[in-house]
């Protein structure tokens, strides 16, 4: 992990520097499509210093499909499906697409290989902000922030010793499902909380786990032993609805679930029942299904569920870092180089 972050740090030039250092033939101005206009205008102006750039509003897929023909590179800044239809509409000159996300569950990666189109994304740079919000959700759920605020609003503030008791983090067993970059960054954050034991599960043991004193266990053991469970694995056919009714029954009634990965990893109706029935103590969610979540969704009625609208990477620095890597992926390929961050299926 340390090597990866060091390598990414070296790659994290400012956008201005990245564009300035890109070398195209004298008369060549590649055609780029940016699929969302909700980025600082200075970012687009910087790209336009060397490229012809079309910007879509990012809301209407039809507009993206209308704007993509002729593009040689695409900066995909939306969560809309990225598939063969987009590539077909773009045309044979399309050489590279980079998403501004780490997770790629909305991308049909297979069609890129079939067409010889480079596919990049933005891993690692999201580790810190996502880990921060994960730990924040852990504390908010464990200490009943939402429930306490509602009690104030409804004039139900009680002054007695056993009112609004939550769960302690000190000495707790913390389980992390998916011990990649984000999982390891969460482990780093938790060092300061004096947790008792750190366990993780996934496809296999990680060398980096030794640095954190983390132990590899099976999924069922993690559910049984953990006081706090962090979900940070990718959404795949294997992990879809991984947290279902049977999984919740294996968890402690005092346990807290935190999901900052993808909503589809959790069977939402089963989670609602587990929270209502006291099968688990609380949940903190930055992701859910669908997104946006309807305001009348059952999750929004639960006092022991903290829900925030997918804010994991929503910091100013993260936006700058992610856009820069996205742009560098595209510019590098179009100038004859390789992807800065290649997506590996």
The two structure tokens encoding residue 266: 């959790």
The two structure tokens encoding residue 121: 């994304």
Query: What DSSP line would sit under 280-307, residue for residue?
Result: SSEEEES--SSSSPPTTSGGGG-TTEEE
Integer angstrom CA distances of residue 93 from 17, 68, 173 = 26, 11, 53
Which sign does the torsion angle of CA 17, 316, 133, 233 carry? negative
Query: What DSSP line would sit under 42-81, residue for residue?
Result: HHHHHHHTTSEEEE--SS-HHHHHHH-TT-SEEEE-S-S-
Q: What angle do CA 191, 248, 193 make, to 5 degrees?
A: 10
88: exposed, middle or buried (Cβ count in 10 Å: 0-12, 13-18, 19+): middle
**Residue of 121, 146, 203, 310 with catalytic role:** 310
Which sign does the torsion angle of CA 215, 221, 227, 228 carry? positive
Q: What gap in Å lies between CA 169 and CA 243, rounded to an integer?
A: 22
Question: Which candidate, 340, 254, 249, 263, places its Cα nearest to that of 294?
Answer: 263
**Is 203 marked active-site?**
no
Q: What gap in Å lies between CA 22 and CA 332, rounded to an integer?
A: 7
Q: What gap in Å lies between CA 336 and CA 343, rounded to an integer?
A: 18
DSSP class of residue 144 equals T
E-assigned strand segments in the chain: 31-34, 52-55, 73-76, 96-99, 118-120, 173-177, 197-201, 214-216, 228-231, 256-259, 282-285, 305-307
Question: Which candidate, 107, 65, 109, 108, places its Cα nearest to that of 88?
Answer: 65
As annotated, the active-site residues are 310
């Amino acid at each position: 992990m340390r090597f990866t972050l060091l390598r990414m740090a070296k790659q994290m030039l400012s956008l201005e520097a990245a564009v300035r250092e890109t070398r195209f033939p004298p008369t060549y101005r590649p055609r780029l499509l940016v699929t969302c206009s909700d980025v600082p205008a200075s970012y687009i102006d910087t790209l336009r210093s060397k490229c012809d750039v079309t910007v879509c509003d990012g809301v209407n897929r039809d507009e993206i499909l209308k704007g993509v023909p002729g593009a040689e590179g695409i900066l995909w800044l939306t969560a809309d499906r990225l598939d063969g239809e987009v590539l077909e509409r773009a045309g044979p000159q399309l050489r590279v697409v980079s998403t501004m996300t780490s997770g790629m569950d909305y991308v049909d990666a297979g069609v890129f290989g079939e067409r010889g189109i480079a596919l990049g994304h933005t891993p690692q740079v999201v580790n810190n902000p996502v880990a921060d919000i994960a730990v924040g959700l852990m504390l908010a759920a464990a200490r009943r922030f939402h429930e306490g605020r509602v009690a104030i609003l409804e004039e139900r503030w009680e002054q007695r010793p056993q009112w609004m008791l939550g769960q302690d983090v000190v000495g707790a067993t913390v389980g992390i499902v998916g011990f990649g970059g984000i999982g390891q960054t969460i482990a780093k954050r938790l060092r300061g909380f004096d947790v008792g034991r750190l366990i993780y599960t996934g496809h296999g043991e990680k060398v980096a786990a030794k640095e954190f004193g983390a132990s590899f266990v099976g999924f069922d053991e993690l559910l049984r032993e953990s006081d706090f469970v962090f979900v940070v694995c990718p959404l795949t056919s294997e992990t879809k609805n991984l947290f279902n009714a049977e999984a919740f029954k294996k968890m402690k009634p005092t346990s807290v679930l935190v999901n900052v990965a993808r909503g589809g990893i959790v069977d939402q109706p089963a989670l609602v029942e587990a929270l209502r029935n006291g099968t688990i103590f609380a949940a903190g969610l930055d992701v859910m299904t669908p997104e946006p979540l309807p305001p009348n969704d059952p999750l929004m009625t639960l006092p022991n569920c903290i829900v925030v609208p997918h804010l994991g990477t929503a910091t100013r620095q993260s936006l700058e870092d992610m856009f820069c890597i996205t742009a560098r992926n595209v510019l590098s390929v179009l100038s004859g180089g390789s992807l800065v961050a290649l997506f590996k299926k």
